[in-house]
Amino acid sequence: MKIFLSYHKNTPVYKSDIFEPILVGAHYNKVDEIELRDDSGDNISELNPYYCELTGYYWVLKNYIDNSNEDYIGFAHYRRLPDIKNISDSDTPSIYGLNYSESLKLFESLIYKNLKNDYKKFEVILPCTCYMYKTTVNPLLRDNEKNYNLYNHFKEEHKNDLLDVLSDVIKNNYPEYMDSLLECFKLEKSHFFNIYIMKREILKKFLIWKFDILNKIGEAINGWNQSQYLRMAGFVGEVLINIWLKKHNNLKIGYVPIYMIDFESEYITKANQYHAEGKYIEEISELKKLYKISSDKFSIKFAIAQLYAQLNDIECSKLNLKLAEKYAKTEDEIFQLASFSAQNNIFEPKKQAELFVKAIEKSKDNKFYAQEFLFYAERIKDLSITKQAWDFMKKYPLTKKEEDRYKSFMEIYSLVHD
């Protein structure tokens, strides 16, 4: 058995005699620890924003299956591990949460010598079916208010008519699947996640069928690579496994528990614990791990910079503030950097002024930013930077005290420059 785990960013990498990490969207993404990429050979890596993990599945179909010796080949994700030791023939709710430490113990047990031969009773192995909720799915809870089925959930959640396009494609190219399609559209519980393990030849037939349909849908909509179709081929792929299974209902199906891995919460918990204990070096270590996998890279780098400043390591603080600046998107985030670095004398005056100016110019109307810039300039007694700060202040109505301060400053500034 070989199960390909799809990765698209830096997270802890699981690799064993059964699990093989593959970097999907490798045309855009980079993870140094993963050698197998979906942008070599016959590939559609550039379509990853639309196909999601399926660009990796395409690579396996075109470059691996025919050359492999495995009896079973499958796919899962870096955050969703199938517990292949415990496969059953019962579609019972079996999706669980694990933190990272717990997942390592699970993963270490998922090796060939620990497997029974139970999986060989099945031709297809899948996670349990799930009810549909807005933005999520759940194996236990049914949304009685929405009364979702597969069709109306997709329609409401994704706001497009791709399932109607899918229906036309199947009707015109695979009419023998139409009854199965119509039955699946009415399902209240479905298979999701694009996770499945199959006998090699069955998987090959399914993937050929699946990618042919996705390609024909792409032709019908004038190409997947349009902003309204981001991730949509991946979501349609989830629908297709249900249709295919409904048609091939003679296949022996097994159900595998899935463990959803939560990397972030463990790092955050440990970081908070170390912070409370005043162990800032250890806290920084946890935040660095979190930085690799989190989408909120600004907040993490800013927090690390603040910790280094507490440790009086100004150079490391400066380095992390510069990295945080790359991820700062709002004027408030930029001002946080400017204010903190000014209070702690992290940056030299010219760079510090640039940060204040960047925040001020990004803000539509915030005199407070200009005032803080002015306080900083007056504190370091730099006439040029103070003049720059007053130029921004003059864009706002000045109080009587501010008018007097401005006149006094300009008298000094004029004397010096005269």
Residue 418 pLDDT exceeds 80: no
Residue 263's pLDDT is what?
83
Residue 265 pLDDT exceeds 90: no
Range of the domain at 235: 2-256
Provide the pLDDT confidence category of residue 145 given band limits of 50, 70 and 90.
confident
Q: Can you tell me the distance from the alpha carbon of 163 to that of 340, in angstroms, rounded to the nearest whole number?
A: 51
Q: Is residue 388 part of a domain?
A: no
Summarised one tens digit per residue, pLDDT across range 39-94 is: 999 999 999 999 999 999 999 999 999 999 999 999 999 999 999 999 999 999 99
Summarised one tens digit per residue, pLDDT across range 101-144 is: 889 899 999 998 888 888 999 999 999 999 998 888 999 999 98
Q: Is residue 137 part of a domain?
A: yes
Q: Can you tell me the distance from the alpha carbon of 270 to that of 284, in angstroms, rounded to the nearest whole number?
A: 10
Number of domains in the chain: 1
What integer is the mean pLDDT of 222-242?
A: 97
Q: Is residue 323 part of a domain?
A: no
Q: Is residue 38 part of a domain?
A: yes
Q: Is residue 224 part of a domain?
A: yes
Q: Is residue 52 part of a domain?
A: yes
The beta-carbon contacts of 297-306 under 8 Å, at least 24 apart in sequence, are 297/324, 297/327, 298/324, 298/327, 298/328, 298/329, 298/333, 301/327, 302/333, 302/336, 302/337, 302/340, 305/340, 305/346, 306/340
Residue 364 pLDDT exceeds 80: no
Residue 107's pLDDT is what?
93
Quote the mean pLDDT of the chain.
Answer: 95
Residue 118's pLDDT is what?
85
Q: Is residue 405 part of a domain?
A: no
Q: Is residue 362 part of a domain?
A: no
The rounded percent of the chain whose pLDDT value lies above 70 is 100
Residue 293 pLDDT exceeds 90: no
> Which 3-state string (H, E, C) describes the chain?
CEEEEEECCCCCCCCCCCEEEEECCCCCCCCCCCCCECCCCCCCHHHHHHHCCHHHHHHHHHHCHHHCCCCEEEEEECCEEECCCCCECCCCCCEEEEEHHHHHHHHHHCCHHHCCCHHHHCCEEECCCEEEECCEEECCCCCCCCCCCHHHHHHHHHCCCHHHHHHHHHHHHCHHHHHHHHHHHCCCEECCCCCEEEEHHHHHHHHHHHHHHHHHHHHHCCCCCCHHHCCHHHHHHHHHHHHHHHHCCCCCEEECCEEEEEHHHHHHHHHHHHHHCCCHHHHHHHHHHHHHHCCCHHHHHHHHHHHHHHCCCHHHHHHHHHHHHHHCCCHHHHHHHHHHHHHCCCCCHHHHHHHHHHHHHHCCCCHHHHHHHHHHHHHHCCHHHHHHHHHHHCCCCCCHHHHHHHHHHHHHHHHHHC
Provide the pLDDT confidence category of residue 289 given band limits of 50, 70 and 90.
confident
Q: Tell me the whole-structure pTM to 2 decimals.
A: 0.76
Q: How many residues does the chain have?
A: 418
Summarised one tens digit per residue, pLDDT across range 157-199 is: 999 999 999 999 999 999 999 999 999 999 999 999 999 999 9
